[in-house]
Structure 1
Amino acid sequence: MTISGLRFGAIGKHAVHASIDMQRLFAEDTEWASPVVHAIAPKVARICAHAPHLTLFTRFLTPEHVEEAKGQWQIYYRHWKSVLASNIAADMLDLLPALRRFVPPARVIDKYVHSAFEAPAFQEALDDLNADTIIFTGVETDVCVLATALTAIDRGYRTILVSDAIASSNEASHEAAFDGIYPRFDQQVELIDTDTLLKAWSP
């Protein structure tokens, strides 16, 4: 896996931690569950504890019924009917229990699609915190983290991905993202590990 380090200097005072979709939905007894969520949870918790007031958690919410989804999402949810909100317990959409203690001051922002930026509250929270840097953790490397990171790049944010606190249920795709996709943005993206982040970030 490619680790680029902090090539653009120290992490400033306007960095925000975006922890993507660390929910029971992806960790427990659903078709979307993967043990990788539990594997990275301790690293995510360490980063949250470092700056809970600068942490934004996202939650991926599913519609109650297929017909509520837009366009191609209806096809998507016909395939994944088991995770429709009407077919799972409401608390399956909650954050992992180990992360809930950080809220508040951490904030929770709900979204219905891959990129967190499609939820206006996400951009509003970044603006409220005067963010110029986004530090990413969570799942999945190659789906919701990727979609949100690409928009962060387009909007001019310094984009830092914490490699050992990001995971995917598809290991091959996870490795491809870190070795092939993210390095393509080498003038905008930095890839580091948790220890490097915690040493370099003084909120």
Structure 2
Amino acid sequence: MVLRLVEKNPARTIFTRFIPALRPGEGHGMWQSYFRRWEEMTLERAGAGIIELVPPLDGFAPPARTYDKAVYSPWFGGQLARTLIAEEVDTLIISGGEADMCVLATVMGAIDLGFRVVLAEDAICSTSDVAYDNILRLFNERYSHHVETGSVEEILDWWK
């Protein structure tokens, strides 16, 4: 489903990549203990391949752009927000992995920045089915004024 969204307009696609610490215990503040706890997620243990875009998405960059981040939120540091605002982007269609972590942080930051947020509900995932269901319920019930949810098919129909 993510591929279908990217194929629609690769030049307007932005990938964000979570770049973990190089070694266990590295990072700022609580991220140090996070990478001690989840040391298998460090670049040293998992290898640099974990940060690469997966095929066939890797074939879209460029023209798609990639922003790296060391935390869940792509908004930390402001570069992504400045770029989107300068380009007069007003709507974000969001897809991605870990609905209850990176996707949640992306959506909440986009709301704070005033973007129209459209969440592709069948183009997000979580390692926890319960978390996925709860995130969709949260966005549909609690944040319905700020977040629109729909299937990729519905989004592509709207995008025509």
Identify the match of residue 83 of structure 1 among 22, 41, 44: 41
Q: Distance in 1 between matches of 2:87 and 2:4?
A: 21
Deviation per CA, 1:161-196: give whole Å up to 9, x if none. 000001111000110111134421111110100111
TM-score (norm 1): 0.75
Write out aligned runs for 1:1-80 (5 A): 43-80=1-38
- For 1:165, the equivalent position in structure 2 comes to 123
Structure 1 stretches of at least 4 aligned residues deviating more than 3 Å after TM superposition = none
Q: How many residues align?
A: 160
Q: Distance in 2 between matches of 1:67 and 1:168?
A: 25
Specify every segment of 5 or more residues in structure 1 that has no aligned partner in the other structure, as ranges: 1-42
Matched residues, percent identical? 34
Q: Distance in 2 between matches of 1:119 and 1:47?
A: 26
Q: Distance in 2 between matches of 1:198 and 1:181?
A: 20
Q: Distance in 1 between matches of 2:46 and 2:129?
A: 26
Deviation per CA, 1:116-142: give whole Å up to 9, x if none. 111433223313432111110011111
Correspondence 1:127 to 2:85 = yes
Residue identity in the other structure for 2:128: N
Specify every segment of 5 or more residues in structure 2 that has no aligned partner in the other structure, as ranges: none
RMSD across aligned C-alpha pairs, in angstroms?
1.4
Residue identity in the other structure for 2:116: R
Q: Larger RCO: Structure 1 or Structure 2 (Cα < 8 Å, ≥ 6 residues apart)? A: 1
TM-score (norm 2): 0.94
Tell whether the 8 Å contact from 1:66 to 1:77 is kept in structure 2 after alignment. Answer: yes
Q: Distance in 1 between matches of 2:92 and 2:139?
A: 18
- For 2:97, the equivalent position in structure 1 comes to 139
Q: Distance in 2 between matches of 1:142 and 1:128?
A: 29
Q: Distance in 1 between matches of 2:81 and 2:137?
A: 28
